[in-house]
């Protein structure tokens, strides 16, 4: 009896399309935050994508960043791309937190401007982990 099992494909947690869309404004580090690289995302933000050079190189690195994110984070009912869209465009209103079922902090963000943007910054650093933990619980 053959017990060999081929490698099981991990579910796709992050989207290459979303990565490339965020790369367009990637000199702000958006695509790096999306793929779970907050340190380099912050560096890109403050240096405008390493003065444009790192931003241009990332055009070719996005497929590898996507594969790494798929291996690192848990798939599940909460969609990473939707949560990132909500955080990016409606973060100060807490909509991304409400989407995750964190209603109390979502309402606090709504009335405090995302806790004066510090909460939004925190979520840029931790959103992937928040979703991964939530998806792992199900």
Q: Residue-wise pLDDT tens for the chain (138 aa)?
A: 555 555 667 789 999 999 999 999 877 899 999 999 999 999 999 999 999 999 999 999 999 999 999 999 999 999 999 999 999 999 999 999 999 999 999 999 999 999 999 999 999 999 999 999 999 997
DSSP state of 26: G
In the three-class reduction of DSSP (H, G, I as helix; E, B as strand; rest coil), residue 5 is classed as coil
List phi, psi (to 5°) of 122: -60, -45
Q: How far apart are CA 91 and CA 106, in angstroms?
A: 9
| Nearest one of 97, 103, 32, 92 to 68, comparing CA atoms | 32
Residue 70: partners with Cβ closer than 8 Å, 6 or more residues away: 10, 11, 12, 13, 14
């Amino acid at each position: 009896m053959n017990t060999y099992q081929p490698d099981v494909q991990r579910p796709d947690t992050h989207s290459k399309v979303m990565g490339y869309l965020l790369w367009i404004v990637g000199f702000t580090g958006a695509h790096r935050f999306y793929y779970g690289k907050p340190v380099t995302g912050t560096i890109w933000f403050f240096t405008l994508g390493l003065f444009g050079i790192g931003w241009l190189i990332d055009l070719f690195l996005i497929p590898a960043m996507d594969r790494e994110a798929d291996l690192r984070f848990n798939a599940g009912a909460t969609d990473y791309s939707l949560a990132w869209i909500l955080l990016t465009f409606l973060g100060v209103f807490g909509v991304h937190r409400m989407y995750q079922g964190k209603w109390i902090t979502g309402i606090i963000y709504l009335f405090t401007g995302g806790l004066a943007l510090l909460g939004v910054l925190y979520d840029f650093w931790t959103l992937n982990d928040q979703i991964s933990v939530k998806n792992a619980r199900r």
